[in-house]
Amino acid sequence: MTTAAHHARPARHIRPAWAEKPGPVTQAGKAVAIAVLLVLVLMPFLVIVSTSLASNQEVVDNGGWVLWPSHPTTRAYRQILDGGIVTKALGVSVGVTLFGTLLSLACTTFLAYALSRPKVFGAKPALILILFTFLFPPGMIPAFLLVKGMGLLDNYAALIAPVLINVFNLVVLRGFFQGIPEELYEAARLDGAGDWQTLWRIVLPLSKAALAVVGLFYAVSYWNAWFHASIYMNSDHWPLQQVLRTYVIGGAQIADTGASEAGLISAPQTTQMAVLVIATVPILIVYPFLQKYFTKGVLTGAIKS
């Protein structure tokens, strides 16, 4: 594994002997650069969360946003989670994400395993066939016609089936499987294990890191998807992101024009921000657990391809 050096690094990185200590100007420059980076990324999150927790009055008085709510309230959250369009969309999103991720992960694993073993009949042309789709995607209109032709409009399958396997994820997993020493496969074969058993007993337990990353990538893409829902689904079946798009991005214009004249119109601002937070939170929850695998997972794929 090429990233072994990265992980073998001591917890406290020691300045190598050849490098001189940077001057005070360089150090100050670095500190400022890092501070700016952190503020640029974290500031919007703080504003969104604070605004969602503030009272309507405070938001209106402050002109549409709050940096730190003086009297935090969860009213906006209780309101939108009280059954209604957001609650329903949340259910759709969770369902599609769970089911889609499992299905995608399973299909990708099987295919990647087959393509990773030498001497599988037809593996080489299959791989070329697959990589070609990466270079030349079929296009929006034919894809739409296909889904429509299969009668999948307004069917949740339309949100999963057309994006079942991601070529990048496939290549990452295949690369990881290829990195497993050949001796282990041979040992399994000598013990009389078939392909399924080898995959289940040997390959999968060794590939937890890669599976975690690929699983996360799938989960994030299912969670974040809205475009397919917007063209394939009725508004009753919209996932959260599409609801967010309609209400927050679409609704923001109403608030923008109305806010200066009438405070009333910008009142739902807290609600909008609460929806935004709900759409973001699941990602923030899984993110820290999987973050350490990123470098490893992404790199195997990038290098092997």
Partner 1 sequence: MLPGLAYFLLFHYGAFIGNAVAFKEYVPFDGLWASPWVGVENFNRMFGDPDFWHATWNTLAIALLQLIFFFPVPLAIALLLHGLTSDLLRRFVQSVVYLPHFLSWVIVVALFQQVLGSTGLLNSVLGDAGLHAVDIIGNPDAYKPLVVAQVVWKDAGWGTIIFLAALMQVDEQSYEAAAIDGAGPWRRFWHVTLPSIRPVIVLLLIMRLGDVLSVGFEQMLLQRSTVGPGAGEILDTFVFWQGLVGGDTGYAAAAGLFKGVVGAALVFAANKVAHRLGEQGIYK
Give residues 101-130 in contact with partner 1 (rule: CB under 8 A). 107-108, 110-111, 113-115, 120, 126, 129-130
The site map against partner 1 for 209-248 (x = CB under 8 A) is: -----------x--xxxxx---x---------xx-xx--x
Q: Which is nearer to partner 1, 43 or 184 (CB)?
A: 43
CB of 211 to partner 1, least distance (A): 16
Which residues, other chains included, contact 74 with Cβ-Cβ below 8 Å and sequence gap of 6+?
53
- Separation CA 125–CA 51 (nearest Å): 54
Q: Give the one residue of 48, 96, 172, 188 binding partner 1; rule: CB under 8 A.
A: 48
Q: Give the one residue of 57, 74, 87, 133 binding partner 1; rule: CB under 8 A.
A: 133
Q: Give the one residue of 28, 98, 102, 140 binding partner 1; rule: CB under 8 A.
A: 140
Q: Which is nearer to partner 1, 184 or 249 (CB)?
A: 249
Q: Which of residues 23-42 bind partner 1 (CB under 8 A)?
A: 30, 33-34, 37-38, 40-42
Q: Give the one residue of 56, 266, 270, 271 binding partner 1; rule: CB under 8 A.
A: 266
CB of 172 to partner 1, least distance (A): 13
- Separation CA 130–CA 181 (nearest Å): 25
Q: Which of residues 141-200 bind partner 1 (CB under 8 A)?
A: 141-146, 149, 161-162, 164-165, 170
Q: Which is nearer to partner 1, 93 or 183 (CB)?
A: 93
CB of 91 to partner 1, least distance (A): 18
Q: Give the one residue of 28, 61, 65, 235 binding partner 1; rule: CB under 8 A.
A: 65
Which stretch, 76-84, 139-147, 175-183, 199-207, contacts partner 1 (CB under 8 A)? Answer: 139-147
Q: Which is nearer to partner 1, 141 or 190 (CB)?
A: 141
CB of 28 to partner 1, least distance (A): 13
Q: Does 16 bind partner 1 (CB under 8 A)?
A: yes
DSSP secondary structure string, the chain?
A: -TTHHHHHS-SSPPPPTTSPPPPHHHHHHHHHHHHHHHHHHHHHHHHHHHHHHS-HHHHHHTTS--SS-SS---HHHHHHTSSSHHHHHHHHHHHHHHHHHHHHHHHHHHHHHHHHSTT-TTHHHHHHHHHHHHHS---HHHHHHHHHHTT-TTSTHHHHGGGS--HHHHHHHHHHHHTS-HHHHHHHHHTT--HHHIIIIIIHHHTHHHHHHHHHHHHHHHHH--HHHHHHS-GGG--HHHHHIIIIIHHHHHHHHHTTT-GGGGTTHHHHHHHHHHHHHHHHHHHHHHGGGHHHHHHHHHHH-
